[in-house]
Amino acid sequence: MITAVSSSIVKNVNVSGIQEKVLANISNSPTLKDLPPELLGNIASLVTIIKTIGVVFLIYLIFWIISSITEMIQNRRIKKIYKNVNEINRKLDILLKKDKK
């Protein structure tokens, strides 16, 4: 239903007029070539800083994923040890009760 309505709307729109307006706006807008060199230097340093922050974030993300995986493995081992200790305690309780009789 939506595609039928949107296709009928698109058929009635003069696309070439819209394209001309968009191209006129793009051609009238300032480009990087029109900017002064001092501003370009500042923009270049800002881009470098943003790239550096991105790389640091990716390294942190990788470290966080690896540490999460190792914590999960460690928690599994701790649960196994906890179960073994409880089993040993239960068996010792049984043995101690037999000795008292």
The pLDDT tens digits of the residues spanning 4-13 come to: 544 555 555 5
Distance CA 6, CA 11 (A): 9
Maximal CA-CA distance, the chain: 102
Looking at the 3D structure of the chain, how many domains does it have?
1
pLDDT at 62: 98
Q: State phi, psi for 30 to the nearest 5 degrees.
A: -70, 145
Q: Are 40 and 32 in contact (CB under 8 A)?
A: yes
The model carries a pTM of 0.51
Sign of CA dihedral 45, 47, 53, 55: negative
pLDDT at 8: 53
> What tokens were used for 97?
């009760």
Task: Give the residue numbers spanning the domain of 94.
Answer: 2-100
40-79 pLDDT, tens digit per residue, is 777 888 889 999 999 999 999 999 999 999 999 999 999 9
